[in-house]
Amino acid sequence: MLTDPVTAAAPAPPQGNLWTDLMHGVFPDGMPWWMVAVLGAAVAFAAVMLFVTVIAMFSIWLERKVAGHIQVRLGPMRVGGWHGWAQSVADGVKLLLKEDVVVTGADRLLFKLAPALVLGTALAMFVALPFAPGLQIADVDLGVFFLISISSITTIGVIMAGWGSNNKWSVYGAMREAAQVASYEIPLGLSLMPPVIYYGSLSLRTATDMQAGWLGLHWYVFDPLHFWIAIPSFVLFFVAALAETKRAPFDLAESESELVAGFHTEYSGIRFSFFFLEEYAAMFVMSAVGAALWFGGWNFPGVTQMPEGALRDFLCVVVFTVKSMLLVFVMMWVRWTLPRIRIDQVMTLGYKYLTPLSLILVFAAAVLEYFLALAPSVLP
């Protein structure tokens, strides 16, 4: 069940500390429900926004360093001193201070609405991510399904941006994006099916909990009976996720050699930075789904066994974030290694290879699960 802010209010804090006394003094009858709802939503939004901003700034810096080193140069080295760590901060300040240009012929409403819609969907996806046992905004029962459906709305934002810009390159970019994302949603969804069949649940939380065995190393990719399905399905998922997040080699929506910058050609300043934030947020979310379903989520030897508490939650967040960032790093590695492919190759890959392969994997996973259910006592 998706969260109703009232029922999902925070559990009662421990009795008798300064905070509870203060709250009791201010609200003798307990906090009014609307305040709980508003505060809960505000805290969740602020936390996600802060997290996304930090992750995006770090990723942009990392992307430049990775690009630099892959191309045998150093990348940013000066801003801030150590290896140009403050480059993203400087860029962020620059983007905030730049003039917010709305082109004369643009459809003002759509032009302004598009970045908000795109970023909003990216933030909404963070709702379902299981960062730690005590740190998940909502344990959405439909976890994976919810994430896919939300991410499909991003396409509409991109089309809105392309159309609203009133620029033919932008429209071309938006059209490519729409065609590509609509095509790759099929293999993306299907490649998520093998783990879902394995866990018997769509919830990312359940998936993570089920990988806690073997001192926290019983990840889906390591399971002796399932790894031969897990590894190919992860590869398919990863390729489809690259296409969904418009990352190279699938970044035809903004291929700079043909379309200037695709759907965000006309954007500047803060609205442009929204698109950038969305790209990195979406990369992180896709990687986090991969980490949660295939690579054990927050489980790691030493962290899984710890007693519950704030320290464990913190370490879980660290483990989960590091795993996701490693996958983000692989996305960057791919981007700076492979050339961009043509649009017909994109379509061929999606429909002629990824979709049939993922269907075969779904079938294999279902058959395997059926026979394992027949003989539960024989096998480990």
Partner 1 sequence: MASWISFLFFAGLAVGCALISLFHRSVVHSAFALLGTLMGVAGLYLMLGADYLAVTQVLIYAGGILVLILFGLMLTPGDPTELRLARVLGGIALIGGGGALFLFKMSGASRWHAAPPDQLAPPDPTVTRIGLELLRQDRFLLPFELASVILLAALVGSVFIARRRVQRDGGAA
Q: Which residues bind partner 1 (CB under 8 A)?
A: 1-2, 4-7, 33-34, 37, 109-110, 141-142, 145-146, 148-150, 152-153, 155-156, 159-160, 163, 171, 174-175, 178-179, 181-182, 185, 202
Return the DSSP state at 350. Answer: I
Min separation Cβ 201 and partner 1, Å: 8
Angle at 364 between CA 361 and CA 365, to 5 degrees: 85
Nearest distance from residue 147's CB to partner 1, in Å? 10
**Helices 355-374 + 168-191 axis angle, to 10:** 20
Least distance in Å: CB of 56 to partner 1?
24
Which is closer to partner 1, CB of 301 or CB of 356? 356
Nearer to partner 1, 61 or 263 (CB): 263
Which candidate, 283, 292, 281, places its Cα nearest to that of 330? 283
Residues 6+ away with beta carbon under 8 Å from 18:
none
Residue 195 Cα to chain centre, angstroms = 17
CA angle 192, 194, 199 (to 5 degrees): 100
**Nearer residue to partner 1 within complex by CB, 146 or 220:** 146
Closest distance to partner 1 from the beta carbon of 57 (Å)? 29
CB of 138 or CB of 331, closer to partner 1: 138
Helices (H), 101-254: 108-125, 143-164, 168-191, 193-199, 204-210, 213-216, 227-244
Residue 38 or 43 with smaller CB distance to partner 1: 38
Beta-bridge partner residues of 135: 132
Please list, in sequence order, all residues whose beta carbon lies within 8 angstroms of the beta carbon of residue 354, skipping any fewer than 6 positions away.
184, 187, 191, 236, 239, 240
* Residue among 121 and 304 whose Cβ is closer to partner 1: 121
Q: How far is the CB of 274 from partner 1 (least distance, A)?
A: 18
Minimum distance from CB of 229 to partner 1 (Å)? 20
**What residues contact residue 130 under an 8 Å CB cut-off, 6+ apart?**
136, 139, 204, 205, 208, 292, 297, 298, 320
Using an 8 Å Cβ cutoff, are 304 and 218 in contact?
A: no
With respect to partner 1, which residue has the nearer C-beta, 57 or 171? Answer: 171
The residue whose two tokens read 């032009």 is: 111
Q: Give the whole-angstrom CA distance, residue 279 versus residue 1.
A: 28
For residue 275, which of 43, 74, 114 has the smallest C-alpha distance?
Answer: 114
| In the complex, least distance from residue 125 CB atom to partner 1, rounded to whole angstroms | 12
* Residue number with CB closer to partner 1 (176 or 264): 176
Instruction: Find the shortest distance in angstroms from Cβ 350 to partner 1.
Output: 15
